[in-house]
Amino acid sequence: MSQESWAYLNRVVEGPSRPLQLLLDAGRDADEIARGVRVRASWLGDLGPQTEARRSWDRAGQDLAEAADAGARLITPESREWPRAEFDVAFGFAAAGRSEHVRSYQADAVPPHALWVRGTPLNEAVAQSVAVVGTRAATRYGHEATRQIATGLATHRWAIVSGGALGIDTVAHEAALAAGGLTVAVAACGIDRTYPARNAALLDRIAARGCVVSEYPPGMPPQRHRFLTRNRLVAALTAGTVIVEAAWRSGALNTLSWAEGLGRVTMAVPGPVTSAGSLGCHERIKDGRAQLVTGADDIRALLGAVGALDVAEQYELAYAATPVQSLTRNELRVFDACPPGGSSAQEISASAGLPVPLTVHLLMDLTRRGIISREGAAWSRVEVAQG
């Protein structure tokens, strides 16, 4: 399937689009659907009316060229860097109907059909990630709490995902970069646009170390509904969402609601009881809709437990006694990519589909636990640990 067809659909169909997703799930490819939209094919179903107003916006080549000029690329479900595992878990949970919240968002609870990315491979950047979001009108307390949390997570190779906005988002991104970690900004406008303008240099730094992602084609302006749509991606790409400083009607609470609806871990940092700026956090904690967390260790403990449960795709292994069978999902990916005969960290990283720094971090931890051994630059499995 051609990039031009995906780019055409990305502009003509502003995601999320359940009708488009249904056609893709039914086996129709992007080329066929793009042709169908242009000629108003009878089999389009609900996608017909959804594309009527924009079907003449046929500028795929221009969009791809403008994205390339901005240092970005278009990725689709066919791309190697598509975050398939994250989307399958999140939107699969939504489709299961187990969440009360997501029923009111059902039309939007579908994955994007394409993404524009500037920076490192997206699937590697979010392989071990957590969303940190909050108010734009952050207080000194909010700044410090966010800085401590993001620094602690980045130190342990958790990527920080946020929206690139002023306030808590900016602090989270900057703290992750300062700690030498990865960070991902999910934009609510075209990948070639900078919003907010004040964060232009920060977004460039994020793209150099992590990545900037957008569901929208070049030139698309930031609009209120796009921020709400963007929030579902922030929640879906990560293992959990932490909210720092959110007032009663804070927009950041929408991201936490999406995390809840997509089956992700929801967490909130308590604020001073005298401050209305944390009232939204306190309500979510009080209602049992968010776990109370006060630092990176609390967050890692919650997400680590989820990582261990991810391995329960092989459910019978959850009760086994051997160290290997109790590994988290990413630890197991590294272990499986590490051949008995030994291999370099770079080769293991490529095989596991994880960033090299995260791979080395996990290899060193597995070595301390006696599951992996190291001789020079070669890492290998400890055979006795396989059980």
Per-10-residue mean pLDDT of the chain, 387 residues long, equals 91 92 93 95 92 90 96 96 95 81 70 97 95 94 97 96 96 97 97 94 96 96 89 96 88 91 95 88 94 95 64 39 66 83 86 83 87 87 58
Fold of 105-306: Rossmann fold (3.40.50)
Domain with CATH 3.40.50.450 in the chain: 105-306
Cα gap 245→336, rounded to integer Å: 40
Cα gap 322→384, rounded to integer Å: 10
pLDDT of residue 319: 42
From the list 157, 130, 158, 7, the residue with the least C-alpha distance to 74 is 7
- CATH code at 320-386: 1.10.10.10
Query: What are the tokens at 80?
Result: 């190697």
Domain with CATH 1.10.10.10 in the chain: 320-386
How far is the CA of 282 from the CAs of 72, 102, 263, 267, 289, in angstroms?
39, 21, 21, 11, 10
Cα gap 351→276, rounded to integer Å: 48
How far is the CA of 311 from the CAs of 92, 94, 298, 348, in angstroms?
17, 20, 21, 19
> Helix or strand or coil: residue 53?
coil
